[in-house]
Every structure is written in structure tokens, then in C-alpha cells.
């Protein structure tokens, strides 16, 4: 079949139906959920290389300045220095 053969084909072919998003919402390459799914109570996020609390806040809440809320909810996991998050840590993302 050539590149433009579909133009001359007069068959009863129907267009492909769009795929549905998973129940938890759409995810990107790294498995991060879309904003609507992440702002629900009890949502979690696994830290990946290059992350910071402000980047996570920007991606999930749309405002990097909300990193304090993520830190406050995860002090037991992160420790006393909010700049030292580690790859693989699972953070709870509080509902704002």
C-alpha cells in the first residue's frame, strides 16, 4: 500500500476510534499523572533524577512557590533539608 492509496480506496473503512485514557488519568513518559489526578487527596509522586520540590509543585499545582506544601506534608520522608530529595522517594502530594 502506498502513501496515498487511502485516497483512492472507496471501501467501507471507518476511521480508527481514539483511545481512551486510563482510569487514573493520562501519564507522561515517566509515569507522572496529569494535574487533575495529582491534586486529589492521597496522590503520590516518585522522585526522578533532576527533580526539585519547586519543579514538582510547578508540574502538579501550576505554581513553583507551592513547594512548601509538599515539603510540609513529607518532612518525615525528606528530612530537615528540603533541597536534598533523593531519586526513588515517594512523596505525598496534598490537595490544595
Q: For residue 51, what are the CA distances in angstroms to 5, 23, 34, 54? A: 47, 26, 17, 8
47-82: pLDDT as tens digits = 999 999 999 999 999 999 999 999 999 999 999 999
Per-domain residue ranges of the chain: 36-96
- Res 29: pLDDT: 58
Q: Report DSSP state, residue 27.
A: B
Q: Is 88 left (phi over 0), alpha (psi -120 to 50) or beta?
A: left
On whether the CB atoms of residues 17 and 57 are closer than 8 A, the answer is no
What phi and psi, each to the nearest 5 degrees, are found at residue 31?
90, 10
- Res 15: pLDDT: 56
| In the predicted structure, residue 9 carries a pLDDT above the cut 90 | no
- Res 36: pLDDT: 44
Q: What does CATH list as the number for 36-96?
A: 3.10.350.10
11-33: pLDDT as tens digits = 555 555 555 555 555 556 566 65
DSSP characters over 32-70: PBPHHHHTSTTEEEE--TT--HHHHHHHHHS-GGGHHHH
38-49: pLDDT as tens digits = 444 569 999 999
- Res 83: pLDDT: 94
On whether the CB atoms of residues 67 and 54 are closer than 8 A, the answer is yes
Amino acid at each position: 500500500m502506498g502513501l496515498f492509496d487511502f485516497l483512492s480506496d472507496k471501501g467501507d473503512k471507518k476511521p480508527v476510534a481514539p483511545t481512551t485514557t486510563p482510569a487514573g488519568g493520562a501519564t507522561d513518559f515517566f509515569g507522572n499523572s496529569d494535574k487533575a489526578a495529582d491534586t486529589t487527596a492521597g496522590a503520590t509522586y516518585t522522585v526522578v533524577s533532576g527533580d526539585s520540590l519547586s519543579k514538582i509543585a510547578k508540574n502538579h499545582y501550576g505554581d513553583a512557590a507551592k513547594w512548601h506544601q509538599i515539603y510540609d506534608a513529607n518532612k518525615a520522608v525528606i528530612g530537615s533539608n528540603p533541597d536534598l530529595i533523593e531519586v526513588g522517594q515517594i512523596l505525598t502530594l496534598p490537595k490544595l
